Amino acid sequence: MSLKSVRILLAASALALIPAVTAVQAAGEADTYQQLDQLMNVFEKVRTEYVDKVDDKTLIQGAINGMLASLDPHSSYLDERDFTNLRTQTEGSYGGLGLTVTMEDGAVKVIAPTEDTPAYRAGIKAGDYITHIDGVLIYGGTLDEAVDKMRGKPGLPIKLTIVRPGRDKPFDVTMNRELITLRPVKWEAKGRIGYLNINSFSRQTGPDVRKALTELAARPGGVDGWVVDLRSNPGGLLDQAVDVSDAFLTHGEIVSQRGREKTDIERYYARPDDLSQGKPIIVLVDSGSASAAEIVAGALQDQHRALVMGVQSFGKGSVQTLIPLTDDTALRLTTARYFTPSGRSVQEGGITPDVVVPQLSDPDYKDRPHLREADLRRHLINEAKIDDRTLEDDGKPDPRFTATADQLKKEGITDFQLDYALKTLARLSGGAKVAAADKAAGAATARN
């Protein structure tokens, strides 16, 4: 791309975006042209005087990335590789570890591991930093470079060096890459409770949830209640969050999204087809429950359809629109904020559980900080006042939650939050069969 072509492109874009209608607009247009001239001056100096020759495409793409990085953590330019990765995350499978990561001050930071993947089974947790891959320092590189190194042919071993806040020394984790098949929903019956584990919101999430509800409800005797597990769910497609919420509701608003202008509001409503048959519901959330997961939790909570249990969620209350630029590149731009049915935004604050239940089966849950939206630089500010208390440890000891991870392990409880939810549903539903099935865990039930 020639310098002349770049000047023509930028000038044409400015003319298209800034119509000269008023004196104020004309002044703004002149200022914009001055800034564009400054951009072009820098571009020309770098391409002609930088110590190494740099191609124009690299410089222009860097300028685009810098522009979007100044907005918020979720707006970005998707080149050919990024666009392919995005399609993979929503529709396909890949060879890798099952990690959702971000870049923070030159370091790769874990947002959440996907359940039942090598990273999850190896004990990698949200908030961990990855400093080395196979002994090679990756600090200061790009996120794409780190992701490329972590992905690879299934079966190939990999060693990650982890820095975990709260621990004195880094430690190594070795695992094998696997084919990460994006199965967004897993379900099973736990006694007479229907358990839905929703890991992401991809194209198949809504249909899978409906299939799960139908199959479990058709069991002999049906079910007495439902646990919808949204823990460590980083979100995904808005329409799938609406579809999942709709499966549990018969009426009312699910979510609204509001753009720049006051009149730019779009609302989504439930249809009268509650596939959960009105049975009690508990929704599990944690600090890794974000975006679409928070839409579902907020909708069921505000509609008084479910009891939300766990710890405070991530707090991502913004909507990103994918704007195609070419056949294989796109702009992911934050275009709206979303609000729960009661009109509250979860941006920064997240979803506050109705019942705060710590994950006691995680031995270092108290010492390990949890990454949330409010921790990300340039995050959107919530106009409402945010309660920034840490729900994992608010300083008030709860006599129900005094067991240690070792004590729970001896009792056969490896997931305390899920165990607590199942026993709570047994009491809510009054299911005698569930109570009988839980009798063997009497000591744990007494603690609950």
**Catalytic positions, please?**
291, 302, 316
DSSP-derived letter for residue 417 is H
What would the two tokens of residue 3 be? Answer: 């310098």
- Categorise residue 140: left if φ over 0, alpha if ψ from -120 to 50, beta otherwise: left
d(CA 270, CA 348): 26
Q: Do 241 and 295 form a contact (C-beta atoms < 8 A)?
A: yes
Residues 6+ apart with CB under 8 A from 164: 125, 127, 128, 129, 171, 364, 368
Q: Count CB-CB contacts under 10 A for residue 408.
A: 20
Question: What amino acid occupies position 364?
Answer: D
Q: HSE of 255 in the Cβ direction (CA atoms, 13 Å)?
A: 30
Tell which residue, 252, 193, 254, has the closest CA to residue 425. Answer: 193
Q: HSE of 177 in the Cβ direction (CA atoms, 13 Å)?
A: 19
d(CA 240, CA 254): 12
Give residue for tokens 């007495």.
224
DSSP strand pairing (307-310 vs 281-285): parallel
Residues 6+ apart with CB under 8 A from 424: 282, 307, 309, 355, 448
Query: 207 burial class (0-12, 13-18, 19+ CB within 10 angstroms)?
Result: middle
Contacts 24+ apart (CB under 8 A), 432-441: 433/191, 433/192, 433/221, 433/224, 434/191, 434/192, 434/193, 434/224, 437/191, 437/192, 438/191, 441/411, 441/412, 441/413
Helix locations, 258-376, DSSP H:
292-302
DSSP-derived letter for residue 201 is B
d(CA 404, CA 359): 10
What would the two tokens of residue 346 be? Answer: 């979860």
